[in-house]
């Protein structure tokens, strides 16, 4: 297998989360379930209607361009891409051809060719019977299209890129980018060539990939399929393939007869844009609206919290966790911050998975209360078991950790005198076990600690209990 090199280029469409559609005032609502309600004469292509450019959509793509360090167009225009399909009500799609809003740029080590703005199509429905239906709610929704250079060399790399792109779209708040909802759609172009051959092999385009997993799996499958073809002396045909989720295989959809002729030409109904003449589109203004981006946040978390690997990604992809850590860290020392990180990435994340948190913008408890909980643990007021129990209550109902600890009898006993009293009782009641321990049976100590914890109703500081048990036994 290592005799072949794979080349992958991605084309990604992202629905922009503007209030209204690309060229009219119809609502842009991907969650609308009723068909054909967010429509007007413009987006269903009635003759005589005129499109008007959605300024926000242009702004979103320019922001994206800045974030990926691309070159923003100064002059740009919209073109008609002519083809007939029931979900294209005008008989053409308004897109950009010669003058994309953004050229070049880079994301996650992958060079970008261009990023442009167009309108989405409607949705055709073919599974109801002997007829077809069309829903135009999506027709005219602003769509950002991004094309990468053919520089990706593996399925894993493609997956990393696609995930990073989703993260960036969300950080910039320009697209929800849910792949399952079709808000982000990936097409993968894949070719293989023998090692040592400089020109690329014939590419195949795989469409309709609606999860990251499908992106990765379809690329793996295609690379293998194409290598097998070449190995058996056959040729790869340039074609469009689909991906079968159930069988996890790609299948031929249509062969590329010849290059499509879309007869692109500038849309005469729309004005050309001179970006530098529009104050809201000046780089300085746009830059101000760009928040801290994932790459920068990773660096900061590495530096400030000493984090990396999968832990850092939990904070990068979950704003609630990040806010909790950053705001509670203000009340904690370095060691306590490490403890806080562990409790957020294990326990809080676990609770979040159970879905009991109904507040999407935060938690039932404040970062300050969480910090107090962590400090109680680090100062031995409560055990690690106690943290879990208190956190479960705080997560569900909120509340002060000290009060919950007292109510639930979770304040740890650190008073030596009180623990020694417990130790003496345990030793008296378990003489045979004590003897076993003295004869070298290590596990007996665990039993004795267990008895002590029980006797103290779970309140004894376990490490202090253990220390005092060993000390008292050695005296005997
Ligand atoms: P087309 O004219 O078929 O649309 P483009 O040159 O516009 O092809 O490229 C479309 C996508 O395919 C881009 O993402 C590009 O990086 C990728 N691509 C181009 N050639 C190859 C190749 N030989 N192997 C893999 N990907 C390729
Ligand atoms: Mg192309």
Q: What is the pLDDT of residues 217-261, one digit of tens each?
A: 999 999 999 999 999 999 999 999 999 999 999 999 988 656 678
Distance 464 CA to ligand 1 centre (A): 66
Q: Do 21 and 43 meet the contact criterion of CB atoms below 8 Å apart? A: yes
- Read off the pLDDT band of 330 (50, 70, 90): very high
For ligand 1, whether the C-beta of 189 sits within 6 Å is: yes
Q: Residues 6 or more apart from 251 whose CB is under 8 A from it?
A: 241, 242, 243, 244
Task: Dump strand ranges (E) for 22-95.
Answer: 71-72, 75-76, 79-82, 92-95
Does the model's pTM come out above 0.75? yes
The per-residue pLDDT for 226 is: 98
Count Cβ atoms within 10 A of the Cβ of residue 65 and give its class: 0-12 exposed, 13-18 middle, 19 or more buried.
Answer: buried
Residue 360 confidence (pLDDT) above 70: no
Residue 358 confidence (pLDDT) above 60: no
Give the nearest ligand 1 atom to 202 CA.
23
Distance 298 CA to ligand 2 centre (A): 34
For a substitution probing ligand 1, which of 155, 157, 203 has the most ligand atoms within 8 Å of its CB? 203
Instruction: Give the ligand whose atoms come closest to the C-alpha of residue 264.
Output: 2
Residue 304 confidence (pLDDT) above 70: yes
For a substitution probing ligand 1, which of 4, 6, 7, 9 has the most ligand atoms within 8 Å of its CB? 9
Domains with residue ranges and CATH for the chain = 4-287 (no CATH), 294-407 (no CATH), 416-474 (1.10.10.410)
The per-residue pLDDT for 476 is: 78
Percent of all residues in the chain with a pLDDT value above 70, rounded to a whole number: 97
For ligand 1, whether the C-beta of 11 sits within 6 Å is: yes
Stretch among 256-260, 442-446, 450-454 having the lowest mean pLDDT: 256-260
For ligand 1, whether the C-beta of 5 sits within 6 Å is: no
Count Cβ atoms within 10 A of the Cβ of residue 262 and give its class: 0-12 exposed, 13-18 middle, 19 or more buried.
Answer: middle
Residue 357 confidence (pLDDT) above 80: no
Distance CA 328, CA 372 (A): 9
Structure token pair of residue 221: 């499958």
The per-residue pLDDT for 461 is: 86
Q: Rounded to whole angstroms, what are the CA distances from 320 to 53, 93, 132, 221, 357?
A: 35, 39, 43, 37, 11
- β-bridge partners, 144: 14, 117
The per-residue pLDDT for 456 is: 85
For ligand 1, whether the C-beta of 200 sits within 6 Å is: yes
Distance CA 55, CA 106 (A): 25
Residue 293 confidence (pLDDT) above 90: yes
Helix (H) or strand (E) holding 468: helix 462-475
- β-bridge partners, 107: 110
Task: Dump strand ranges (E) for 149-197.
Answer: 184-194
**Total number of residues shown for the chain:** 476
The per-residue pLDDT for 259 is: 63
Chain mean pLDDT for the chain: 94
The per-residue pLDDT for 260 is: 73
For ligand 1, whether the C-beta of 226 sits within 6 Å is: no
Distance CA 410, CA 33 (A): 49
Distance 114 CA to ligand 1 centre (A): 12
The per-residue pLDDT for 359 is: 60
What integer is the mean pLDDT of 137-159?
Answer: 98
Instruction: Give the ligand whose atoms come closest to the C-alpha of residue 205.
Output: 1
Structure token pair of residue 334: 């370095």
- Read off the pLDDT band of 444 (50, 70, 90): very high
Distance 260 CA to ligand 2 centre (A): 10
Phi first, then psi: give them for residue 304, nearest 5 degrees. -80, -35
* Count of helices and strands (H, E) across the chain: 16, 17
Question: Considering only CA atoms, which residue is closest to atom 13 of ligand 1?
Answer: 9
């Amino acid at each position: 297998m290592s005799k072949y090199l794979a080349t992958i280029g991605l084309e990604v469409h992202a629905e922009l989360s503007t209030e209204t559609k690309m060229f009219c005032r119809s609502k842009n609502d991907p969650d609308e379930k009723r068909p054909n309600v967010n429509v007007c004469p413009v987006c269903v292509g009635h003759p005589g209607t005129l499109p008007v450019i959605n300024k926000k959509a242009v702004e979103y793509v320019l922001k994206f361009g800045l974030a990926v360090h691309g070159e923003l167009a100064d002059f740009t225009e919209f073109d008609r891409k002519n083809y007939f399909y029931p979900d294209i009500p005008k008989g053409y799609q308004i897109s950009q051809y010669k003058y994309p809003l953004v050229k070049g740029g880079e994301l996650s080590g992958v060079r970008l060719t261009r990023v442009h703005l167009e309108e989405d199509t409607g949705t055709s429905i073919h599974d109801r019977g002997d007829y077809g239906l069309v829903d135009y709610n999506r027709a005219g929704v602003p769509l950002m299209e991004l094309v990468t250079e053919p520089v990706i060399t593996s399925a894993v790399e493609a997956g990393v890129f696609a995930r990073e792109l989703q993260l960036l779209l969300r950080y910039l708040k320009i697209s929800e980018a849910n792949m399952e909802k079709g808000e982000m759609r990936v097409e993968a172009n894949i070719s293989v060539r023998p090692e040592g051959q400089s020109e690329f092999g014939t590419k195949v385009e795989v469409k309709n990939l609606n999860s990251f997993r499908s992106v990765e799996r379809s690329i793996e499958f295609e690379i293998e399929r194409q290598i097998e073809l070449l190995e058996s002396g056959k040729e790869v045909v340039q074609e469009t393939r689909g991906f079968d989720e159930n069988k996890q295989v790609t299948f031929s959809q249509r062969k590329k007869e010849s290059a499509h002729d879309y007869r692109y030409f500038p849309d005469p109904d729309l004005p050309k844009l001179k970006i530098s003449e529009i104050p809201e589109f000046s780089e300085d203004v746009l830059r101000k609206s760009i928040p801290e981006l994932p790459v920068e946040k990773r660096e900061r978390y590495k530096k400030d919290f000493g984090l990396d690997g999968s832990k850092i990604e939990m904070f990068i992809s979950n704003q609630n966790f990040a806010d909790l850590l950053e705001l509670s860290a203000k009340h904690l020392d370095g060691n306590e911050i490490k403890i806080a990180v562990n409790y957020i990435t294990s326990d809080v994340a676990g609770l979040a998975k159970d879905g009991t948190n109904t507040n999407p913008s935060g938690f039932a408890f404040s970062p300050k209360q969480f910090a107090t909980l962590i400090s109680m643990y680090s100062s031995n007021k409560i055990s690690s078991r106690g943290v879990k129990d208190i956190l479960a209550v705080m997560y569900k109902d909120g509340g002060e950790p000290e009060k919950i600890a007292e109510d639930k009898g979770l304040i740890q006993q650190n008073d030596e005198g009180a623990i020694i009293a417990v130790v003496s009782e345990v030793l008296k009641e378990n003489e045979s076990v004590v003897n076993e321990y003295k004869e070298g049976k290590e596990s007996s100590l665990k039993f004795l600690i267990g008895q002590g914890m029980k006797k103290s109703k779970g309140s004894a500081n376990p490490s202090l209990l253990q220390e005092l048990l060993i000390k008292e036994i050695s005296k005997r």
